Amino acid sequence: MPGSPGNFDSLSQMSRPIKLHTPPAFTADIVADARERIGEILDDLARLMTEYSSDIEVWGSAVTTAGWEIARLGQWLGLEGEAVLLLGGSSYPDIAEHEGTSASNVYNRVGKSLTLAPYAKAAGATTRVTAEGLETARRDYALEDPAAASLEADDRAADGSLADRIPRILVSGPVKATEIVAALPDYRRSSVLSTLSILAREGAVTRVGHGVYALPPREGDETVEPG
C-alpha cells in the first residue's frame, strides 16, 4: 500500500534524467499568477503602512492579513515547485534532502499541487502520487518538449501547424489562453500552452496580461502625435 516501507523504497529510486526544456506551461502560468498576487499584496501593504502609520489597529491588521496571505501563497508555490522537480526527474528523497525535510513529508503533500493533482489518488485522509501516477505524469509532460509538440501539430493540422493557427486566432484582438485552447479542440491543452510560450519567446505573439495573448503591434499601427 502507498506509504508502506516496501513501496516507499521503490519511490526513492524514481529519479530519472527527463529534464524538460522548460517547466510545464500550466505550472508556469500558475506561478506567474501567484507572483502577481504577492506583488499586489506587498504594494497594498506598503500603501497602508504609510497612510496609517499612526493607527496601530489598521497598521497591525494590514500586516497580519498580508503575512498570512503571503504564507498561503508561499505554501502553494512550494507545492508546485516540488511537483516540477519530480516531473523533471528528481526523486522524493532528492527533494527532501534539498529542503531539509523527510521524503515522506514530500510524498504526503505533493499530491495537493495543482500540477500533480490529476495524477494523485486518495489514501485515507491523504492524497498521494504513487510511482505509477508519477510515471504517467512524466510521460504526459515530456510531450511538452517543443520538438514533440511541433511534430504533433504538423501531423494533425490540415490547415497549417499549431504555430500557424494560433496567430490567426489573435487577428481580431487579445484572447485569453483558455479561449485559445477551446478554439483548438484537436490539440492537447499542454501542446497549445507550450506552443504559446514558444511563440511568445520568439516574439510572434505578445503576452498582454495574465493568460492573455495578442499579436505584437506593427510599426504602422503606432499612432504618431503631430508635432
Q: Higher confidence at residue 73 or residue 223?
A: 73
> What's the number of domains the chain is made of?
2
Say yes or no: 162 and 102 in one domain: no
The pTM for the full model equals: 0.56
Q: Are residues 130 and 44 in the same domain?
A: yes
Q: Of 99, 119, 142, which marks where a domain is finished?
A: 142
pLDDT at 170: 93
- Domain end marker among 118, 142, 166: 142
| Residue 226 in domain | no
Check whether residue 155 and residue 137 sit in a common domain. Answer: no
Asked if residue 225 belongs to a domain, the reply is no
39-73 confidence digits (pLDDT tens): 999 999 999 999 999 999 999 999 999 999 999 99
Classified as helix, coil or strand, 116 is coil
The CATH number linked to 170 is 1.10.10.10
pLDDT tens-digit map of 84-122: 999 888 888 888 888 888 888 989 899 888 888 888 887
Q: Tens digits of per-residue pLDDT, 189-203?
A: 766 776 787 788 778
Instruction: Measure the CA–CA gap between 179 and 120, rounded to whole angstroms.
Output: 27
67/152 same-domain check: no
pLDDT at 55: 94
Q: What is the pLDDT of residue 153?
A: 45
108 and 169 assigned to the same domain? no
Instruction: Print the domain residue range for 167.
Output: 146-216
Q: What pLDDT digit, counting tens, does each position of 146-165 carry?
A: 544 444 444 444 556 778 88
Q: Are residues 130 and 162 in the same domain?
A: no
Burial of 172 (0-12, 13-18, 19+ CB in 10 A): exposed
Helix, strand, coil percentages, rounded to 5, for the chain: 60, 5, 30
84 and 165, same domain (yes or no): no
Last residue of a domain, one of 89, 119, 142: 142
* Residue 1 confidence (pLDDT) above 70: no
Is the same domain home to 67 and 122? yes
Same-domain status, 53 and 13: yes
Indicate if 99 and 176 belong to the same structural domain.
no
74 and 123 housed in the same domain: yes
The residues, any chain, with a CB within 8 Å of residue 134's CB and separated by 6 or more, are 14, 86, 116, 119
Tens digit of each residue's pLDDT (9 = 90 or more) over 6-38? 444 444 444 445 556 678 877 888 888 888 899
Same domain? 11 vs 116 = yes
